[in-house]
Amino acid sequence: MSARELDFTQAVKELLGNSPINSESNIAIIGGELQAGDSHTLEEVLERFLHKWDFSTLPYRIWEYFHCIEFNTCSLPSDYSLLERGRIFGPGGDLSLRRDGERFLWHFIGPKEKDTLPADWKKDFWKENPHAQLRPHDEFALLWGAYKKALGRWHEDRVGWANLDYPYHLHKEEGKRLWIHYTVFSDGGQIAFVWWKEVKDHAEKKLDSLE
């Protein structure tokens, strides 16, 4: 069998190889929606929400506005009124935000830690799905952007309208590529959640880990 052919038996083995996680695991899965209040705009509520978190172990930030995308580390949105989507991730978890009309939808997956969010801001996946069984599987994906010496940064030129750059501090070797490491949590073979964890330089990525 060639390397390009699918080994179904091996694929099933990999899918079922990791023990499933459930409500007794140390993985938190929470989410909810944010709406404007009587005395606060939606953007003010979102800002308050983000300041409730400890992002010390979630260094990567992606902020998507209608006119650009900012991919950096350790920053909060530069303009809450123009924000459409956000993603804050790292080894300490993955928080995703999406504007939906007059509200923001969000969900988080990561290690269970002390929860400082108000009760009316969130729902607990495990409490609403006490019998759920999720199987984790580590994956890597190639980021298309390359290091541009003339610009002095990693740049993604396939989405020109967004002017998307990757965090500069990740540069190690000119011309090399970056990889993103993430964990997929599947339910009955279907992807339920994805936890983005780390962006790595090409030199740190071993190709055999994809086989």
Average pLDDT, the chain: 82
Structure tokens of 130? 């006490």
Q: What is the pLDDT of residue 209?
A: 42
For the chain, the domains span 25-128
Query: Alpha-carbon distance 1 to 158, whole Å?
Result: 35
**From edge to edge, which strands make up the β-sheet containing 135-148?**
164-166, 153-156, 135-148, 177-187, 190-201
Cα 134 to Cα 15: distance, rounded to the nearest angstrom? 11
Give the mean pLDDT of 4-31: 69
Name the band, by pLDDT with cuts 50, 70 and 90, for residue 93: very high
Instruction: Give the start-end residues of each E strand in the chain.
Output: 27-35, 60-65, 69-73, 83-90, 93-99, 103-111, 123-124, 135-148, 153-156, 164-166, 177-187, 190-201
User: Phi and psi dihedrals of 30, rounded to 5?
Assistant: -135, 160
Does residue 179 have a pLDDT over 60?
yes
Question: Burial level of 210, CB count in 10 A (0-12/13-18/19+)?
Answer: exposed
What's the pTM? 0.82
Give the pLDDT confidence of 20-54 residue by residue, as tens digits.
899 889 999 999 999 998 889 999 999 999 998 98
